[in-house]
Every structure is written in structure tokens, then in C-alpha cells.
Amino acid sequence: MDFNLSDLQRMLLDSAERFIGDHYSLEHRRALRDTADGIDHSAWQTFAELGWLAILVPEELGGLGGAMTDVAVLAGALGNRCVREPFTGTAVLAATILAGAQSAQDAVVESLVAGQARIALAHDEPGERYADSAPRHSALVAGGPGFVLSGQKMMVLDGPTATHFIVTAQGPEGLTLVLVEDGADGVARSDYALYDDSRASDLTLSGVTVGAGQILATGEAAQALLSLALDRARVTLAAQSVGSMEAELEICSAYLKERQQFGHPIGKFQALQHIMADMFVATHQARSMLYFALSRLEQPASVRERAVALARVHIAEAAQLVSRQSIQLHGGYGVTDEYEVSHHYRRQLVLEKQFGDIGFSLARASA
């Protein structure tokens, strides 16, 4: 076993820390919030130039053919600065599904790698929560030259800046993954902001025309592909969460040395030292759990799913401890928009509730 970074991973991390560290200051992130769609388009181009969007894309499709350990290294750096660009949806979830699609998607993959296409998963529907394999109400039926797609989707993460959607629907062959372009006839989007300043959309699909070339997978193959893509996405979120925790350790320990009360830096008080120790322990254990999940990603689906669920429970609960105590250690400043810790708290909340929260993961790991 080797937990140390390979030379390539070291280069990846160095460039990620340099670019993200220079670019994603708190001021910059707060400024981005006031833009129309919330994303940093020029930074996204840099993501593409640095090869970050190509990590999971197979070499024969013009990608780097990398591994989830590489993604986790990068995701940790993104989490460090609460970077909320649509990396997970596009470069992990969509890249996985497109690479495994039954119909060739070379052009879309090429444009994904180039930073032009951003692709969001449109899965959740009203009245359900984290429906992993439940039948979709959205329906794909034969009609016109091919098929017609209708349905209601909600909480499509990063929907406003997506160029394409991967829509889950019930088709003639069961679960079907359909690639739909934003702006296609019959696609209506309603956009909103989330508490971490990322964006999401509700999607109404009304008789959208679908050709055979847009069908990515059907039936059991669709289920398996979706499940793999979601598990990879969950681990990517968990890696961001660990990155956020690790940043909070630095932020809080620095603050405890600088903030004075009762004539001392507050870090002199044992009650606060022990809170920092608890945060250190939780963060260390969370990173161990991330490694465990990564080690199980290539194993049979049942092993992989359970490991990811266990890791998500553990890491999300550790993240709650760390992000809550980070606010507590900052006193009143902790709940202001001026201070980093409130952004980490909000980001952790969003990371926890994407693609399965603690309750969902706990039930899944206990099954």
C-alpha cells in the first residue's frame, strides 16, 4: 500500500493548489455570487487547459484515462477553497456516463474536455428523495421520428450553466438515460441559487423530441451506469468535504492564536484546545475513510455501494462536527458572510445533501 502521491498526482496537486489558491479568494467567490449564473467562465477554461475535465475520460476519447484517486486529489484542493464550479456533475458524473454510453458521444465528450460542454444530471422528481432505482415518472415513449420525452425534474444541480442534461426516464426498455440539449424545444428551466452560492434548476420537459443517438443507456445497463456514476460523484463530494475540513483546521488554529480575550490569545484556553483536537481527530478519520471508499470503487457494485455509503455517513458527520465547531470557535463572526467559516459551513451542507444525505447513506449501509 502506498498513501503518498505519485509524481503525476503531486504535479496535479501543486498546480491545483497554486491556481485555486491564487484565484479563489473569499472576495472573488463573493463577487461571483453576484454574477448572473454564478460560475467563473474563465476559470472553467483553465480547468480544461489544466486537463482537470479530462481525468476520467478514457484516452481513446481524448481524455487522460486517470483514476478516481486523481480526482480525489483535485477535489480535496477544490474543497479547500469551497470552489463550487460544476466539476462533479460534468467531469465525474457525466464523464462516466458518456464514456460508458451505448451510442458514441465523441463530439460531446470532446467538447466536455475542451470546457465547452457542461452537463448536469436531471434525475430527482417531486415527491421522492434520492430515488436510486425507483421507476421514473418522466417518460420516454415512441413518437415522431424516434421518441418523445416528458416529465418534471427538480434540483438539477448546476442546471443554469449546463449545455446538456442527462435525463433519467422510464422508457420502453425500463430506465433510460437520455442526453438532452439545453434550449431544445420543450425544455423549460427555472433557475435558483443554493445557500453555497451554487445554482440549480427545475426542469420541465414537454414532449421533447429524442433521436436514437441521444439514448445513452437502457434497462440494467442504464441502472449500472447511473449507479457507478453516482458513487463516483459521491466520493468526489466526500473528497471536497475532507478538503474543506482540512482548510478549517488551518483557519481556526490561526484564529485561536490571533483572537484575544481576557488578556490572552483564546487558543490558550483548554476548552478550545480540546475542540481543535476533536476537529483534528474527525478530519484525520474522515481522510482515512475517503481512502477506504476509493479502494472499493473498482470492486463489484454491491461492495462498492456499501463502502461508499459507509464513507458518506462517516465523512458527512465528521464534516458537521468540524464545520459547526469552526463557527463556534469564531464566536459571532462565525455566522457572518465576512468570514470563511460560514462559507465552509454552507458548502458542507450542500455537499452532504447532494446525491444522498446522511440518512439515505445510513439506510443504504445498514441494508
The residues of the shown chain that bind another protein, judged by CB under 8 A, are 1-6, 9, 69, 73, 249, 253, 256-257, 267-268, 270, 272-274, 276-278, 280-281, 284-286, 288-289, 291-292, 294-295, 310-311, 313-314, 317, 362, 365-366
DSSP 220-248: HHHHHHHHHHHHHHHHHHHHHHHHHHHHH
247 burial level (CB within 10 Å; 0-12, 13-18, 19+): buried
State which residue, 154 or 282, has the beta carbon closest to another protein.
282
Strands 146-157 and 164-171, by their bridges, are: unpaired
- C-alpha separations of 56 from 24, 61, 62, 129, 350 in Å: 24, 10, 10, 28, 23
Q: Which helix (H) or strand (E) holds 135?
A: none
DSSP 193: E
Q: How far apart are CA 254 and CA 37, in angstroms?
A: 34
Do residues 140 and 172 lie in contact, with contact meaning Cβ atoms separated by under 8 Å? yes
Strands 164-171 and 119-122, by their bridges, are: parallel
- Whose cell is 438532452? That residue is 180
State which residue, 59 or 298, has the beta carbon closest to another protein.
298
| Minimum separation from the CB atom of position 335 to another protein (A) | 23
Cell of 239: 473528497
- C-alpha separations of 322 from 25, 273, 281 in Å: 21, 14, 10
Cell of 223: 441502472
State which residue, 164 or 287, has the beta carbon closest to another protein.
287
Do residues 123 and 165 lie in contact, with contact meaning Cβ atoms separated by under 8 Å? no
13 burial level (CB within 10 Å; 0-12, 13-18, 19+): middle
